[in-house]
Amino acid sequence: MRTAIVLFTRDLRVHDNPALAAACASAETVVPFFVLDPQLQKLSPNRARFLHQSLADLRESLRARGGDLIVREGEPVAETMRLAREVQAEGVALTQDVSTYARRREERLNDECERHRISLRLFPGTTVVPPGGVRPGGGDGHYKVFSPYYRAWESAKWRDEVATPERIALPADLAAAPLPPLPDGESPAALNGGETEGLRRLKAWPRHIHTYDDLHDDMAADATSRLSAYLRFGCLSPLAVANRARDLDGAGPAAFLRQLGWRDFYYQVTQAFPKISTQPYRASGDTGWRYDQDALQHWKDGLTGVPIVDAGMRQMQAEGWMHNRARLITAAFLTKHLGLDWRDGVKWFFRWLVDGDVANNSGNWQWVAGTGNDTRPYRRFNPIRQAERFDPDGVYVRRYVPELASVAGKAVHQPWRLPDTVRSGLDYPAPLESHRDEAVWLRP
Ligand SMILES: Cc1cc2nc3c(=O)[nH]c(=O)nc-3n(C[C@H](O)[C@H](O)[C@H](O)COP(=O)(O)OP(=O)(O)OC[C@H]3O[C@@H](n4cnc5c(N)ncnc54)[C@H](O)[C@@H]3O)c2cc1C
């Protein structure tokens, strides 16, 4: 083939990128391409910033290999076909993805490529095991429960990692315009995007992975990998991350690998159930939600008066990331204590999280709300017990709720129990009324 376009989407890397590697192997010249879709840019300033940083880094890596990254703004399929005409491309390579948006894009691209006699080739790379790569009983369904999925996932034959292309030959006379200016994010302490930064973090991670099993739920220790945003944008290959963990023995690496299994699990659920962000996966649990704007706003602002919940919500605004245990506690508080609709939670998390993605955000929200893939949909999280267990000294709460900085130890988890003289000196609200009867945890 003379010229192929690699349409980058959520695979912003040169290492283990099957679409890029195959295009470089089969075409004389290759055009690495990314289309900024203004519609998506609006969804989350934090992710828009991370994306731009990742594109700048990808461009550097491609340039170091003789290539470049062409970036244009517009509708991805129309822009790809326009570029295909300009460079007389004979093929387009694309990494497959599962969201409704991604699948529509793939379908339209497929139609347009057929119409213009251009070959479209689809590649894996968004997950370790491609969605649908393992199926229950060998049929055409998907796994609804995690444990059997994980057993199949672990024992499946994983593809081999592909080598980073050494040289990328661009067509002559193709000039890349400068990248659009870096947008402002909303979270001052958000991570910086890019494959280089992702690989640096991945390299450092094995020093801590051995304590992952013990410490991943310790909210103050902050001892998880923080690789999620790099996986979200494909700055890191999920397969490469999983292989690094699989190479290591012990409970830490095994527990970490299991989390990557959860990530893949929700991708195969989303592929089978693309309306996961708006429709209940399990309709019977999706009833009785309240729509109380005032309570919702308090939750969003981290002003519920329940310190562990407020700390999580404020961490998300400060860092564009929230500890997994805090995500569980805050989501359960919204849905099971305040009785508010999980869809409002999905949207708020999706705006702030740099790692926010359809499959993992909505899949986890539905799990917590009891409408998703949890085998115990009536499970409750008592926020005080969770706080005392996973932030026993209150360090996490004091880090993110400065109004409570003067309250020592675990007393910080229940400020309503403090003597009136102390409580009246704190600029911190009384707890929001819970919608549910089991609000006993709030009683002094
Ligand atoms: C309500 C709610 C919403 C969430 N929204 C997202 C989201 O939008 N995007 C996202 O990537 N994760 C989401 N998670 C899962 C999890 O909280 C994050 O992946 C994790 O906190 C990221 O931090 P880390 O990279 O340090 O994770 P680590 O603990 O180091 O885990 C390693 C990797 O495993 C994957 N992983 C870990 N836990 C989960 C999980 N429960 N489900 C799926 N994958 C997991 C992530 O890719 C993560 O980077 C959500 C969880 C909840 C309860």
Q: Please check whether residues 213 and 290 belong to one and the same domain.
A: no
Q: Is residue 440's pLDDT more than 50?
A: no
Nearest CA to 193 out of 346, 60, 102, 74 is that of 60
DSSP letters of 196-261?
Answer: HHHHHHHHHTHHHHTTHHHHTT-TTTT-S---HHHHHTTSS-HHHHHHHHHTS-SHHHHHHHHHHH
Q: Please state, rounded to an integer, the average pLDDT across all residues of the chain.
A: 95
Domain boundary, last residue among 76, 111, 126: 126
Q: Is the minimum distance from the CB of 6 to ligand 1 under 6 angstroms?
A: no
For residues 50-64, give the mean pLDDT: 98
Return the structure tokens found at 316.
Answer: 């998300």
User: pLDDT tens digits, residue range 383-415?
Assistant: 999 999 999 999 999 999 999 999 999 999 999
pLDDT category at 94 given cuts 50, 70, 90 is very high
Q: What is the pLDDT of residue 443?
A: 44
**Contact (CB, 8 A) for 100 and 209:** no
Tell me, yes or no, whether 170 lies in a domain: no
Q: Is residue 442's pLDDT more than 70?
A: no
Q: Is the minimum distance from the CB of 126 to ligand 1 under 6 angstroms?
A: no
Tell me, yes or no, whether 136 lies in a domain: no
Residues 194, 397: Cα–Cα separation, whole Å: 30
Residues 414, 384: Cα–Cα separation, whole Å: 7
For residues 237-247, give the mean pLDDT: 97
Domain count, the chain: 3
Q: Please check whether residues 322 and 430 belong to one and the same domain.
A: yes
User: pLDDT tens digits, residue range 329-386?
Assistant: 999 999 999 999 999 999 999 999 999 999 999 999 999 999 998 888 888 889 999 9
Share of residues in the chain with pLDDT > 70 (%): 98
Q: What is the pLDDT of residue 435?
A: 63
Range of the domain at 56: 3-126
For residues 197-205, give the mean pLDDT: 96
Q: Is residue 439's pLDDT more than 70?
A: no
pLDDT category at 433 given cuts 50, 70, 90 is confident
Share of residues in the chain with pLDDT > 90 (%): 90
Top pLDDT among 152 and 41 is at 152
Residues 336, 185: Cα–Cα separation, whole Å: 31
Cα 50 to ligand 1 centroid, rounded to whole Å = 17
Domain boundary, last residue among 210, 237, 272: 272
**Contact (CB, 8 A) for 275 and 287:** no
Q: Is the minimum distance from the CB of 324 to ligand 1 under 6 angstroms?
A: yes
User: pLDDT tens digits, residue range 141-156?
Assistant: 999 999 999 999 999 9
Q: What is the pLDDT of residue 336?
A: 92
Cα 24 to ligand 1 centroid, rounded to whole Å = 33
Q: What is the pLDDT of residue 444?
A: 38
Q: Residue 18: which CATH number?
A: 3.40.50.620
Domain boundary, last residue among 230, 249, 272: 272
Tell me, yes or no, whether 415 lies in a domain: yes
Tell me, yes or no, whether 152 lies in a domain: no
Q: Is the minimum distance from the CB of 241 to ligand 1 under 6 angstroms?
A: no
Q: What is the pLDDT of residue 436?
A: 58
List the single range of 6-20, 83-97, 422-436 with lowest mean pLDDT. 422-436
β partners of residue 119:
91
Q: Is the minimum distance from the CB of 99 to ligand 1 under 6 angstroms?
A: no
Nearest CA to 333 out of 382, 293, 397 is that of 382
Residue 64: count other Cβ atoms within 10 Å of its Cβ: 10
pLDDT category at 269 given cuts 50, 70, 90 is very high
